[in-house]
């Protein structure tokens, strides 16, 4: 079980990675530790989070493409949370 300080640090690091993803010329120097399934579900959720944000910015919140990306993100986040026991950092 993570304490609030550890969770906040994790969420902050993921937020920083998301900002780095939007800067096309920036490499992301990271090391992710976990089982192969945990790392895979983390990277999938991160990728789907970016797709959802891109679609939202381009098409708006009520566009079918954005809604589809949102549902894919929700499925991916649920898998991540079940796999790791952690709450996804951008989930309210």
Tell me the per-residue pLDDT of 40-73, one tens digit each, with 9 for 90 and over: 998 899 889 889 989 999 999 999 999 999 999 9
Distances (CA, A) of 9 to 62, 67, 73, 80: 32, 30, 22, 18
42, part of any domain? yes
Chain position carrying tokens 């900002």? 19
Q: Is 61 a member of any domain? A: yes
Residue 4 lies in a domain: no
pTM value surpassing 0.85: no
Q: Which residue has the higher pLDDT, 19 or 24?
A: 19
Confirm if 17 and 30 have CB atoms less than 8 A apart.
Answer: yes
Structural contact between residues 67 and 53, judged by C-beta atoms closer than 8 angstroms: no
What average pLDDT is seen over the chain?
82
Residue 62 domain-assigned?
yes
Residue 66 structural domain: 35-86
Q: For residue 65, tell me if it sits in a domain.
A: yes
Q: For residue 51, is it within any domain?
A: yes
Contacts of 51 (CB under 8 A, 6+ apart): 69, 72, 73
- Name the domain count of the chain: 1
- pLDDT over threshold 60, residue 2: no
Instruction: Report if residue 22 sits inside a domain.
Output: no
């Amino acid at each position: 079980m993570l304490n609030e300080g550890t969770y906040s640090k994790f969420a902050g690091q993921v937020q920083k990675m998301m900002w780095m993803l939007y800067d096309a010329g920036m490499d992301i120097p990271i090391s992710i530790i976990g089982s192969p399934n945990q790392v895979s579900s983390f990277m999938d959720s991160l990728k789907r989070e970016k797709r959802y944000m891109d679609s939202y910015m381009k098409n708006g919140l009520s566009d079918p493409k954005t809604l589809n990306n949102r549902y894919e993100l929700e499925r991916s986040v649920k898998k991540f949370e079940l796999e790791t026991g952690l709450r996804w950092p951008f989930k309210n």
